[in-house]
Structure 1
Amino acid sequence: MEELKAGDKAPDFKAKNQAGETVSLADFSGKKLILYFYPKDNTPGCTTESCNFRDNYQSLLHKGFEVVGVSIDSEASHQRFTKKHDLPFNLLVDEDKKMVQDYQVWGEKNLYGMKYMGTKRTTFVINESGIIEHIITKVKNKEASQQILDLYESV
C-alpha cells in the first residue's frame, strides 16, 4: 500500500463512538476534520493531547474544524475517558484496528528498547471535500491544537 500523503483522498470510515453511535467520514462533509490517532485512553501523553483539544475546542469549531479522536480502546474505556476529562468530541472505537491500518498509523514502536506493535500518534487534517490537507507525525501533546492552527495561519 502506498503511503498516505497530503492531497490523497482520506480513507473512508464508519465506527462507533463512546456513546455507541455510528460516525462516518461522510458526517463531516463540508467541514474541516481534525482526526487524531492516539495510543491509549487515560495515559499521560494521550490525556494531555486530548485535553489540549478540549481546552481549544470552541476556538477550533469557530475556525471551522471538527475534532475526532481514535484509539483501539473499547467503547467503555472511551466512555470513562470522556467523562473523566469532560471531552466534548467523539472518540471512535477501533478495536478491530481497521482505521489504524487504513490510515497507516499501526506499526512497530520502541519503548525503553522493547519493540511492540501499537498506534503511532498521528493527526490528520481532512478538508471539506474529504482530502487530506496535513499529516502531523511529530505531535506535541501540549500544543496539539496550536500545531494545526499554525498550519493555517501561515497560509
Structure 2
Amino acid sequence: MTENNRLSPGDNAPAFTLPDADGKPVSLADYTGQKVIVYFYPAAGTPGCTKQACDFRDNLSDLNGAGLTVLGISPDKPEKLAKFRDTEDISFPLLSDPEKSTLAEWGAFGEKKLYGKTVQGVIRSTFLVDEHGKIEVAQYNVKATGHVAKLRRDLAV
C-alpha cells in the first residue's frame, strides 16, 4: 500500500457497515450530521490497543460534549470485541472488520515497520469525519499512548 491510498482532508469518507461487539450492524451513514472520530487499531486486548481504547473511554464525556462520537475498528471478531469491551468498560462502539476491507479503503492496512521489519498489518490511524461525511483530519501511524491527548489539543477539546 502506498501513500496514494491514504485519505486526506477534504476526501469523502469511505462508507462502511460493520458488526459491532454484539454483531449488530453499524454504518458510518448512521452518524450523518454528526462529527465522528473513527480510529483503527491492530488488536483488542493488546497493551497498546488497550491503552488507546481506555484513553478514548476516559475522555469520552469531553469528546461527546464537544459533539464528537467515537468509533473503534479492528480486524477482531465481534466475540473478542465484546470481551474487550466488557473487560475494559469501553462505552463506545467497537466494530469488527476481519476481512480488512474497510481498513484497506481507509488506508489503515498495508505495509508498516514492526521491530525494524516491513510487514503487512493494521496501521494505527485516526480520522475525524465531519457532518457531511468528509475527512476533516487524517492521521496515520499514530502512537497508542498520548494520542488522545494530542487529538484533543489539535481539536481544541
- Alignment TM-score, normalising by the size of structure 2: 0.92
Match of 2:123 among 116, 120, 137: 120
Paired AA for residue 64 in structure 1: G
Does residue 56 in structure 1 map to residue 59 in structure 2? yes
Counterpart CA distance in 1 for 2:153 and 2:94 is 24
Q: Which runs of 5+ in 1 are unaligned?
A: none
Report how far residue 2 of structure 1 moved: 5.0
Q: Which runs of 5+ in 2 are unaligned?
A: none
Match of 2:146 among 119, 128, 143: 143
Report how far residue 92 of structure 1 moved: 0.6
Structure 1 contact 36–121 (Cα < 8 Å) conserved: yes
Shifted more, 130-139 versus 87-96: the winner is 130-139
Shifted more, 103-112 versus 23-32: the winner is 103-112
Other-structure match for 1:78: 81
Match of 1:92 among 80, 91, 95: 95
Counterpart CA distance in 2 for 1:30 and 1:144 is 25
Q: Which runs of structure 2 are paired with 1:5-16 in the superposition (5 Å)?
A: 5-16=8-19
Structure 1 contact 52–141 (Cα < 8 Å) conserved: no
Q: How many residues align?
A: 154
Secondary structure of 2:73 counterpart: strand
Alpha-carbon RMSD across the aligned residues, in angstroms, is 1.6
Secondary structure of 2:145 counterpart: helix
Report how far residue 137 of structure 1 moved: 1.9
Does residue 45 in structure 1 map to residue 48 in structure 2? yes
Structure 1 contact 41–77 (Cα < 8 Å) conserved: yes
Secondary structure of 1:116 counterpart: strand
Paired AA for residue 24 in structure 2: E
Q: Percent identity at matched positions?
A: 38
Other-structure match for 1:3: 6
Counterpart CA distance in 2 for 1:40 and 1:138 is 15
